[in-house]
A and B are shown apart, each in its own frame.
Chain A
Amino acid sequence: MAKSLQKVNCAEKSKKLVIARMNNINVIIQTCKELSFDLDFNYAKQWKSAKEGRVIVGYLPIYFPREIIHAAGGIAVGIFGGGDRKQIVKGDAYYQSYICHIPRSVIELALDKQLDHFDGFIFPSICDVIRNLSGIFKQKGIGKFVKYMDFPQNFLPEIGGVYYQQEMLHILQYMKEINGVEVTTERLNHAIQLYNRNRQLIKFMYDIRQEYPWRLSIEDVYHIIRAGTVMPVEEHNELLEQVCEHIQNDIGKPQDKVKVVVSGAFCEQPAVGLIKAIEEAGCYVVDDDYMLGSRMILGDIDDSTDKPLEAIANAYIRQSQYSSSIYDVNDPKEFRLAQIVKDRGAAGVIFASASFCDPSLLDAPIFQNAFNKMGIRYIAFQYSENINQFKVIKEQVGAFSDSIKLWEDEPAELLVQMTQ
């Protein structure tokens, strides 16, 4: 495995690519930490400059079918804002105080020329703020193309599925205009195969953590998955293989913590300190939606058809994780989340919403009213990507964890029934 990874890197002749030297898990994690928050996206830029015709396409949360960019000779790179690593000077002049933080850090990155090597930008249909940010990028002429990707809210394959395929074709046309690559069925199926493997490995990591969360912290999991959004999927798969192999060993020691699921943090990302603080305060996060896009499709996409775009579209329609950005009346999200709680054996849910995040906050009453009836315990708080003072939140999470550990011998009645 390590040899094949070295081969990839040698072929790239990219000296700064350090994955080949990852001979132990700590190096992998450290590298992922650095790559995740390299806001100059050097890794992707070096990948691009190593070969003529390569293309970088940035995409915002939540989900984007990266397979199609791979098949067109490009790399889809996640742009998840500046977090607490980017000082906002110009971005605040673009957004009123009552708008979430991610658009101001993304525009700041663009104005500071940190996205200059990107050829195109995809703005998936998450909310009105991200939608309108696509318009600002268009107005300012940032990138060779800017595409607001309108994911279908109609879930009939012959209607919404067809429209989704047309949206993907639109992007492939942009790609062709840049590098002349004509996407073939084989290339698409190969890309689907790679991303299927990627999702399988990530799922495996979560499945192991469900039973043995002490083997790898949620902070590490986060860095490992986020790093996968800025590097070629082949390399990420190699890296994940090593992580998955490692966590099958009996390592670490269990601590007296309660298992929880974190929900609502799917777009603007919490600072890593907050992700860490939740576990430090007495919880094991056994599922979350921090990097939802990398886990959006549940199970494999068919990689053997002669209509791979249709396969991608149908997978989105039929086997997506619930999301606050997907119309859910026929498949209510509160039951989907309750099922995750049950499947993971979690004792409760932490609703973490970015301040002013419409999708997350508008879903809050739906979840909370349902969970009150179901007897699923939860707490809720808000954060901003650039805030790294978590004392209050840590206390809140600590109290939540303690209340479960100290004052309730058994989980809530309904949850017991559900988990049996």
Chain B
Amino acid sequence: MSKEVQKEKSMILQKEMIEGLFNDLSTAKETGKKVCYTFVPGNLSELIRTFDMLPVYPEINALQSAMRKKSAAYIKEAERHAHSEDVCTYVKCDVGMMMKGNIGPTGQVIPEPDILLLSYTGCFTFMKWFETLKREYPNAKVIMIHTPYQENGRITPEMLEYMIEQLKVEVIPQMEAVTGIKFDEGKLKRILALSKEAEDWITKIFDTTKNKPSPIDAYFAGVYYIGPINIGFRGTQEAVEYYKELYSEIQERVRLGLGPITPEGEMKEEKYRLVVEGPPNWTNFREFWKIFYDMGAVIVASSYTKVGGVYDLGWRHDPDRPLESLAEYCMNCYTNMNIPQRIDLLSKYIRDYDADGYITNSIKSCNSFSAGQLAMMREIEDRMEVPVGFIESDLVDPRYFSYSNIKNRLESYFQMLEQRKIIHSTEKVLAHE
């Protein structure tokens, strides 16, 4: 395998898009663009774009900091200021980064927010996070939109109405006040049409893992694929073009019968097909991924890539129902689904993508994902009769990534999968005889 990271055209396109955004952010104060901090789950990118604002995603900054090995220092800085060791490390990384000058992943300063758009979707910590940031940025306007949880496994008319009213009465008027731009529904509709197009493409992309071998890794590479759709490019022609290009590259891999591209080149043999629940570890992302591809394990579906929207269940932004569709989007994100819904979705993935096993990566500082994962795992094991595995790490705190522990556990797990394959093939032979 080549040690060089292979760059495909889609990768270059994505890099250009992200660099463009950070360039725009670095000059926002000069160009007069308003800056809106918000979160990935339930992000109202289309609305932000309708008001010509530039988005900043603190959790994306945090994970980028971790990948650049800067998160440890940021976390320590936050802990020096009374932040507990036991809470979300995204929050601490973000706060620490702010305390140390708010230098973003491209080395440019990220401007202070004009708006803190708190689309409170699927994660309680988001609320505390922006309460904290409000104290740090007293001049920023905090706009809260409370997204009701799908506690009963569905969106009720009351939930929808509640959100639409918040959009109409609270969110939009406050955005108008801060930006000085009048809300243009026609513009929002045009943006939503492009969102829908990008959502169609990304659904097709994640569906290609039905092929054997799977042409992509839907977790480790998947986190790159969801970048543009989750961090402010949804609703742009650029995003549509990116996903078209990506799909075409993947289709070519399918045609050639190739497996996923890894940081060390193409994965030659697909031995195990897995479904993963939970976010990845970002501090040791490459090492973490390597354990899998070295063992011939490919992730065919993951819940983490659905935090910004579960499009594979058929839902799309709808330009004919602009506010309804924004409301539904927020409520449809993965972590806003209840535990039985999550179990059903993961079981569906195991079935639809013909997975050999199911792994939980339990993240210490993310209770939204982690609380309940053990019960989910047991239910999935019973229901789907696949071997399940469990590992623990953290989002961006390197103190909680233990390479040898994780490797040992995964090696044992892969041995179990291997054993099971042998038993199955023996049973098949015996049945045939």
Residues of A participating in the B interface, judged by any CB pair closer than 8 Å: 93-96, 98-99, 103, 125-129, 131-136, 138-140, 147-148, 150, 152-154, 156, 158-160, 162-163, 166, 324-325, 327-329, 332, 353, 355-356, 358-359, 361-366, 368-370
Assembly CA distance A329 to B170 (angstroms) = 14
Q: Is the CB of A365 within 8 A of B83?
A: yes
B395 within 8 A of A: no
Q: Is the CB of A125 within 8 A of B125?
A: no
Q: Is the CB of A356 within 8 A of B371?
A: no
B210 within 8 A of A: no
Complex interface: chain B residues within 8 A of A327 (CB): 118, 120, 127, 131, 144, 146
B211 within 8 A of A: no
Top 4 A-B pairs ranked by shortest CB distance? A135-B339, A148-B151, A362-B128, A153-B146
A147 touching B151 in the complex, CB below 8 Å, given contacts A135-B339, A154-B170: yes
Chain B interface residue number, banded:
35 or more
Q: Is the CB of B166 within 8 A of A363?
A: no
Assembly CA distance A75 to B144 (angstroms) = 34
Assembly CA distance A359 to B166 (angstroms) = 24
The closest CB in chain A to the CB of B392 belongs to A96
Q: Is the CB of A154 within 8 A of B144?
A: yes
Q: Is the CB of A152 within 8 A of B146?
A: yes
Q: Is the CB of B132 within 8 A of A362?
A: yes
- B112-148 near A? 1/0 per residue, CB < 8 Å: 0000001010011101111110110000001011101
Partner of A153, one of B78, B120, B362, B372: B120
Quick one: which of B362-384 are within 8 Å of A by CB?
Answer: 362, 364-365, 367-368, 370-375, 379
Assembly CA distance A98 to B371 (angstroms) = 10
A329 touching B144 in the complex, CB below 8 Å, given contacts A95-B371, A359-B128: yes
Partner-contacting stretch, out of B7-15, B34-42, B84-92, B219-227: B84-92
How many inter-chain contacts with C-beta < 8 Å in the A-B complex? 157
Complex interface: chain B residues within 8 A of A153 (CB): 120, 127, 144, 146
Residues of B participating in the A interface, judged by any CB pair closer than 8 Å: 78, 81-84, 86-88, 91, 118, 120, 123-125, 127-132, 134-135, 142, 144-146, 148-149, 151, 158-159, 162, 165-166, 169-170, 338-340, 342-343, 362, 364-365, 367-368, 370-375, 379, 392
Complex interface: chain A residues within 8 A of B343 (CB): 139
Complex interface: chain A residues within 8 A of B364 (CB): 96, 98
Partner of A127, one of B124, B146, B339: B124
Q: Is the CB of B146 within 8 A of A103?
A: no
Partner of B81, one of A132, A166, A369: A369
Q: Is the CB of A362 within 8 A of B144?
A: no
B123, B135, B342: residue with the most chain A Cβ atoms closer than 10 Å: B135
CB<8 Å pairs between A and B, sample of 18: A95-B371, A96-B370, A99-B371, A128-B371, A131-B124, A132-B368, A135-B338, A135-B340, A147-B151, A160-B146, A329-B130, A358-B125, A359-B124, A361-B84, A363-B128, A365-B83, A366-B135, A370-B135
Q: Is the CB of B372 within 8 A of A132?
A: yes
Q: Is the interface of A mostly helix, strand, loop or mixed?
A: helix
Assembly CA distance A93 to B390 (angstroms) = 12
A150 touching B125 in the complex, CB below 8 Å, given contacts A132-B339, A156-B169, A358-B87: no
Q: Is the CB of B338 within 8 A of A358?
A: no
CB distance from B140 to the nearest CB of A (A): 10
Q: Is the CB of A132 within 8 A of B371?
A: yes
Q: Is the CB of A369 within 8 A of B135?
A: yes
Q: Is the CB of B144 within 8 A of A98?
A: no
Complex interface: chain A residues within 8 A of B127 (CB): 153, 327
Partner of A356, one of B81, B86, B91, B340: B86
Assembly CA distance A138 to B132 (angstroms) = 33
Partner of B151, one of A94, A134, A166: A134
CB distance from B336 to the nearest CB of A (A): 10
Partner of B82, one of A93, A126, A128, A369: A369
Complex interface: chain B residues within 8 A of A324 (CB): 128
Q: Is the CB of A136 within 8 A of B339?
A: yes
Partner of A93, one of B149, B374, B379: B374
Assembly CA distance A159 to B160 (angstroms) = 12
